[in-house]
C-alpha cells in the first residue's frame, strides 16, 4: 500500500479536484478535510471519497464551482443552500456563520441543504470546540445509491447511516469529540474493507436474507444486504430511534427532505452551536469538567485496555502516529484516484 504524509494527500487531492473544475480555494478546503479524516484514522471519510466525488461531478450531480446562498437569516439562525456544490465547502461556511452568531447571541442554529457529502462530522465540531464553543450536528443523507439499514423489526433496508456528532471544549486543548453513525459502523468503513479485500468483523452486516455475514460485497449486492443499527441484534432499537430523529431534524428542518424519495444525493444538516462563556465562565466549565473526567478515568482498565480514553483521544493518538509513520492508502483506492487523474489529464505520484 502506498504511504503518504498528510501534506502529500492534501496536494494530490487539491490537484485532482481543481482539474475537475473546482476553484483552487475550494479544492484546497475539500482536500484538507479529506486528508484530516485519513490522518485521524477515519479512512472511510478520506481520499477513498475522491472517486465518488469525481463521478458525481462527471454526472452533473455536483457543481464544483457552486456558490453558497443564505436563504433565510436572523440573529440566531440561518438556512444555507449549497446549490449542489461540494458539501465541505457549504458546511464550512455554515460553521463560520454559526460561530459568529453564537459569539454574539450565546447560541445559534444553522440548517444546510443543497450540499453534497460533507465528509467527517468530527472535523467541524472539533474546530467549533477549539473556539470555546459546543457544537452539535445532526446529518441525514438522501439520494444515496442504496438503503443501508433495515428499520427495527424490519427485514429490508429502508434507512441510511445517518450520523450525529458533538464537540465539547476541554482544558487540554484537545476537544471531546463524538462522531458516530446510527448504524454499528459507517458505510464507508465497509467500503474500505471491500477495497482492501478483507472481511468485516462479526456484528456489522446482514446479507439480503437477514443472516449475519462478514463479506462486505454482500452490502452492495442485488438484492443488497444491510448494516445493523447501532446496538446490534439486541439493542438496535436505540440506533433506529436516533436515525428517525435525525431524519426529521436534519432532513425536514433543513428543507433537504427525508430518505425514501427519488432525490439527488445530498446531506441535510442541522448545526447547533453554544458559546460556553455565555452560560458560565470558561474556567468554571473546565474546572467542573476536569473533575468529572478525573472521576471517569479513575476506573481501573478492563482486560485488554491500558487506559480509559475520552471521545476524541483515539483520533489524537492516531494523528500523532500517522504524522510519524505516514498515512497508508489501500492499492485499490489509490488506483481509482490515479485512473481519475489520467482521465482529467494529470499524473499523480505515489
Per-residue model confidence as pLDDT tens digits over 109-146:
999 999 999 999 999 999 999 999 999 999 999 987 77
Write down the pLDDT at residue 1: 67
pLDDT, average across residues 223-235: 90
**Range among 189-198, 210-219, 242-251 rated most confident:** 242-251
208: nearest Cα among 222, 192, 228:
222
Task: Calculate what percentage of the chain has a pLDDT beyond 70.
Answer: 99
The rounded distance, in Å, linking the Cα atoms of 152 and 143 is 21
- Would strands 205-206 and 212-213 be described as parallel, antiparallel, or unpaired? antiparallel
Structural domains of the chain ordered from first start: 1-65+327-350 (1.10.1530.10), 66-181+233-283 (3.30.1370.60), 185-227 (3.30.60.50)
Write down the pLDDT at residue 2: 86
**Range among 30-34, 157-161, 220-224, 231-235 rated most confident:** 30-34
Backbone φ/ψ region at 134: left (φ over 0), alpha (ψ -120 to 50), beta: beta
Write down the pLDDT at residue 210: 85
pTM for the full predicted model: 0.92
**Range among 79-93, 180-194, 219-233 rated most confident:** 79-93
Instruction: Indicate the average pLDDT of the chain.
Output: 94
80 to 83, 255, 275: CA distances (angstroms): 9, 10, 21
According to DSSP, residue 298 is labeled: T
Check: CB of residue 117 under 8 Å from CB of residue 140: no
Write down the pLDDT at residue 350: 62
For the stretch 56-73, pLDDT in tens is: 999 999 999 999 999 999
pLDDT, average across residues 95-122: 97
Residue 171 has pLDDT above 90, yes or no: yes
Write down the pLDDT at residue 272: 98
The rounded distance, in Å, linking the Cα atoms of 162 and 139 is 6
- Would strands 226-227 and 327-328 be described as parallel, antiparallel, or unpaired? unpaired
Amino acid at each position: 500500500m502506498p504511504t503518504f504524509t498528510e501534506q502529500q494527500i492534501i496536494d494530490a487531492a487539491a490537484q485532482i479536484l481543481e482539474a475537475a473544475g473546482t476553484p483552487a480555494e475550494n479544492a484546497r478546503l475539500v482536500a484538507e478535510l479529506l486528508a484530516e479524516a485519513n490522518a485521524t484514522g477515519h479512512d472511510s471519510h478520506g481520499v477513498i471519497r475522491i472517486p465518488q466525488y469525481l463521478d458525481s461531478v462527471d454526472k452533473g450531480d455536483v457543481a464544483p464551482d457552486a456558490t453558497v446562498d443564505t436563504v433565510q437569516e436572523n440573529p440566531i439562525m440561518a438556512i444555507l443552500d449549497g446549490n449542489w456544490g461540494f458539501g465541505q465547502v457549504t458546511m464550512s461556511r455554515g460553521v463560520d456563520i454559526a460561530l459568529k452568531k453564537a459569539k454574539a447571541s450565546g447560541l445559534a442554529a444553522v440548517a444546510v441543504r443543497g450540499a453534497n457529502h460533507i465528509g467527517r462530522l468530527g472535523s467541524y465540531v472539533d474546530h467549533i470546540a477549539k473556539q470555546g464553543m459546543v457544537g452539535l450536528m445532526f446529518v441525514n443523507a438522501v439520494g444515496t445509491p442504496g438503503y443501508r439499514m433495515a428499520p427495527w423489526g424490519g427485514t429490508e433496508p429502508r434507512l441510511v447511516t445517518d450520523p450525529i456528532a458533538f464537540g465539547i471544549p476541554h482544558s487540554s486543548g484537545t476537544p471531546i469529540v463524538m462522531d458516530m453513525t446510527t448504524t454499528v459502523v459507517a458505510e464507508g468503513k465497509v467500503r474500505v474493507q471491500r477495497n482492501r479485500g478483507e472481511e468485516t468483523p462479526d456484528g456489522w452486516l446482514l446479507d439480503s436474507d437477514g443472516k449475519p455475514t462478514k463479506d462486505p460485497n454482500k452490502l452492495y449486492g442485488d438484492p443488497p444486504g444491510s448494516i445493523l443499527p447501532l446496538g446490534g441484534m439486541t439493542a438496535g432499537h436505540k440506533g433506529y430511534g436516533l436515525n428517525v430523529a435525525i431524519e426529521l431534524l436534519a432532513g425536514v428542518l433543513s428543507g433537504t427532505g427525508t430518505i425514501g424519495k427519488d432525490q439527488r444525493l445530498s446531506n441535510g444538516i442541522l448545526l447547533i452551536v453554544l458559546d460556553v462563556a455565555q452560560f458560565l465562565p470558561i474556567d468554571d466549565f473546565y474546572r467542573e469538567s476536569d473533575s468529572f473526567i478525573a472521576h471517569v478515568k479513575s476506573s481501573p482498565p478492563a482486560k485488554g485496555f491500558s487506559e480509559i480514553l475520552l471521545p476524541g483521544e483515539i483520533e489524537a493518538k492516531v494523528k500523532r502516529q500517522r504524522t510519524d509513520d505516514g498515512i497508508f492508502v489501500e492499492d485499490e483506492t489509490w488506483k481509482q484516484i490515479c485512473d481519475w487523474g489520467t482521465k482529467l489529464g494529470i499524473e499523480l505520484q505515489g
